[in-house]
């Protein structure tokens, strides 16, 4: 049985399309009820004008349908995960810095173009829904999704529903100040978790340490005239570089502390870690070890903690598509 046959066997309207709209690429795929992705396609994002980006989105949707070998009649809806602030009810991108968007009526324009219901959400919210519907958080009523990448943020499912908070800021632990007078954060504060443990923070720590004379294999990167990135730091740590390992261990401690605080707040069944840094084994090992350590030190947290409390996303490169697909696959969760 090839993939096309498998998809066509679905009932009309049983499939959805998830579109992950980023500042550099737009990825789309057809998703079935079990979270299988068919007909993945990917295009560069044309950010010259919102209309151009939306044309690429519509093209990605049509291409995914074609690539999956299904009929448009099978498609129940299109979900879009986009960065920034979204007016979910009206499907408007209120603002998206990466895309240069402000008040773009995505839903209206795409529905007119594609003649199928569309839903739009912030991409991190969508990712949390994807974990809940298709990922390691499947079937857990209370889930915290912690995204660790160029930024850090948590999203929360409570009793099977996305909880946004009063101002859409629930779970913004990335901007909790963990170190008074710590390094500056892009939010304007100092010492936020994000400024201590997100990707750019790892790179900055390494640059500062090397510049102040700490011996490290990362010196070579700078000698080459390359920009030192979080990837360099993670790779050096994996290869046993002392400075890089210290940076990763410290970041792991801060992330573990966030997981601990989120757990005491939300008492979730599972904390799912996603984003680029969730793929860095040495960092994730440090996080898991420090969280387990906190359970030893803190009896109340021990009652919340279990060996499967903190789990890495299993969705990987499909996380964006599946999160977007979840928006239309299970609208009652939003």
DSSP 190: B
Of the candidates 333, 320, 195, the one whose C-alpha atom is nearest the C-alpha of residue 258 is 195
Q: Which residues have C-beta within 8 Å of that of residue 181, sequence separation ≥ 6?
A: 190, 191
Measured from the CB atom, the residue of 199 and 268 that comes closer to a copy of itself is 268
Which among 19-27, 78-86, 298-306, 316-324 is the span making contact with a copy of itself, rule CB under 8 A?
A: 298-306
Q: Which residues between 18 and 77 bind a copy of itself (CB under 8 A)?
A: none
Residues binding a copy of itself: number (CB under 8 A): 42
Structure tokens at 183: 């390094």
Measured from the CB atom, the residue of 60 and 146 that comes closer to a copy of itself is 146
Contact flag: residue 256 with a copy of itself (CB under 8 A): no
Question: How crowded is the C-beta side of 77, counted as CA atoms within 13 Å?
Answer: 16
Measured from the CB atom, the residue of 67 and 158 that comes closer to a copy of itself is 158
Q: How many whole angstroms separate alpha carbon 307 and alpha carbon 288?
A: 9
Q: Which residues between 138 and 177 bind a copy of itself (CB under 8 A)?
A: 141-142, 154, 156, 158-159, 163-173, 175-177
Measured from the CB atom, the residue of 11 and 332 that comes closer to a copy of itself is 332
Number of other CB atoms surrounding residue 190 within 10 Å: 14
Measured from the CB atom, the residue of 38 and 301 that comes closer to a copy of itself is 301
Q: How many whole angstroms separate alpha carbon 313 and alpha carbon 79?
A: 20
| 45 phi and psi angles, rounded to 5 deg | -85, 125
Contact flag: residue 127 with a copy of itself (CB under 8 A): no
The residue ranges that bind a copy of itself (CB under 8 A) are 141-142, 154, 156, 158-159, 163-173, 175-177, 187-190, 192, 260-262, 264-269, 294, 297-301, 303-304
């Amino acid at each position: 049985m090839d993939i096309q046959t498998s998809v066509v066997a679905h009932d009309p309207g049983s499939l959805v399309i998830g579109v992950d709209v980023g500042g550099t690429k737009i990825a789309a795929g057809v998703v079935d009820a079990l979270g299988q992705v068919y007909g993945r396609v990917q295009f560069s994002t044309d950010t010259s004008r919102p209309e151009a980006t939306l044309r690429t989105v519509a093209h990605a949707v049509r291409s995914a349908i074609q690539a999956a070998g299904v009929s448009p009649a099978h498609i129940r809806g299109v979900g879009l995960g986009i960065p920034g602030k979204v007016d979910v009810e009206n499907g408007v991108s209120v603002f998206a810095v990466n895309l240069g968007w402000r008040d773009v009526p995505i839903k209206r324009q795409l529905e007119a173009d594609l003649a199928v219901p569309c839903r739009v959400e912030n991409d991190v919210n969508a990712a949390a829904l994807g974990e809940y519907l298709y990922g390691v958080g499947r079937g857990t009523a209370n889930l915290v999704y912690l995204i660790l990448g160029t930024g850090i943020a948590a999203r929360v499912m409570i009793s099977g529903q996305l909880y946004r908070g009063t101002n859409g800021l629930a779970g913004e632990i990335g901007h909790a100040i963990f170190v008074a007078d710590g390094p500056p954060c892009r939010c304007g504060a100092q010492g936020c978790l994000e400024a201590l443990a997100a990707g750019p923070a790892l790179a900055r720590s390494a640059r500062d340490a090397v510049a102040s004379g700490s011996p490290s294999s990362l010196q070579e990167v700078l000698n080459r005239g390359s920009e030192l990135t979080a990837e360099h730091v993670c790779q050096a740590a994996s290869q046993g570089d002392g400075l890089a390992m210290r940076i990763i261990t410290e970041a792991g401690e801060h992330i573990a502390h966030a997981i601990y605080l989120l757990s005491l707040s939300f008492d979730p069944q599972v904390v799912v870690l996603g984003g680029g840094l969730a793929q860095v084994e040495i960092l994730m090992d440090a996080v898991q070890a420090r969280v387990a350590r906190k359970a030893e030190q803190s009896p109340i947290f021990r009652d919340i903690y279990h060996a499967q409390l903190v789990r890495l996303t299993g969705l990987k490169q499909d996380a964006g598509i599946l999160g977007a697909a979840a928006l239309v696959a299970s609208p009652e969760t939003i």
